[in-house]
């Protein structure tokens, strides 16, 4: 259940580390796995010493988003228990999302960590193909 002011981990390599939900799109209820939300980037991810001054990768090129940016995202993990049609119940250790652009394409090119299989029913196959594992 993701709602206003919920903090989420960003699990792609777009440059954001922590985001805050400011709106759940197309719904008056809380967001579940596979729902689209609007977030504000609260904390940037640092990419190590090679991305600093004098390194081979510039900080601007490595980070596609900056602190304070307002972006769209898809919820991929929630702490709230989720009941599946086969009767099993699944919940994760944290709330997590993947940043997307307005057309629905992921901003990052890699995902770190597992994502929920409910994304398949919601037609987020691009995110499922980038994920190392879905549960």
CATH code: domain of residue 69: 2.40.150.20
The closest of 63, 71, 61, 70 to 103, measured between CA atoms, is: 71
pTM recorded for the entire structure? 0.87
For residue 40, tell me if it sits in a domain: yes
Do residues 101 and 127 lie in contact, with contact meaning Cβ atoms separated by under 8 Å? Answer: no
CA distances from 45 to 22, 32, 68, 109 (A): 20, 25, 13, 15
For residue 58, tell me if it sits in a domain: no
The tens digit of pLDDT for each residue in 38-84 reads 999 999 988 766 555 555 555 555 688 999 999 999 999 999 999 99
pLDDT, mean of residues 19-43 = 95
Which segments within the chain are labelled E, that is strand?
7-10, 16-24, 36-44, 70-77, 82-83, 89-90, 96-100
pLDDT of residue 53: 56
pLDDT of residue 24: 97
pLDDT of residue 27: 87
For residue 33, tell me if it sits in a domain: yes
Calculate what percentage of the chain has a pLDDT beyond 90: 81
For residue 73, tell me if it sits in a domain: yes
For residue 51, tell me if it sits in a domain: no
pLDDT of residue 46: 84
For residue 1, tell me if it sits in a domain: no
For residue 106, tell me if it sits in a domain: yes
Do residues 100 and 39 lie in contact, with contact meaning Cβ atoms separated by under 8 Å? Answer: no
Q: Domain count of the chain?
A: 1
For residue 24, tell me if it sits in a domain: yes
The boundaries of the domain holding residue 33 are 6-45+65-134
The closest of 24, 14, 15, 16 to 78, measured between CA atoms, is: 24
Task: Kindly report each contact of residues 67-70 with a partner whose C-beta sits within 8 Å and lies 24 or more positions away, as own/partner.
Answer: 67/41, 67/42, 67/43, 68/40, 68/41, 69/16, 69/40, 69/41, 70/22, 70/38, 70/39, 70/40
């Amino acid at each position: 259940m993701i709602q206003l002011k919920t903090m989420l981990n960003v699990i792609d390599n777009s440059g954001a580390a922590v985001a805050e939900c400011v709106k759940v799109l197309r719904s008056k209820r809380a967001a579940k796995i596979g729902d689209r939300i609007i977030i504000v980037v609260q904390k940037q991810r640092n990419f190590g010493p090679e991305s600093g001054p004098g390194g081979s990768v510039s900080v601007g090129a490595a980070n596609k988003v900056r602190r304070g940016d307002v972006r769209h995202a898809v919820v991929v993990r929630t702490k709230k228990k989720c009941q599946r049609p086969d009767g099993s119940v699944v919940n994760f250790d944290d709330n997590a999302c993947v940043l997307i652009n307005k057309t629905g394409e992921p901003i990052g090119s890699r995902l770190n960590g597992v994502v929920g299989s409910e994304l398949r029913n919601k037609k987020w196959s691009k995110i499922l193909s980038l994920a190392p594992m879905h549960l």
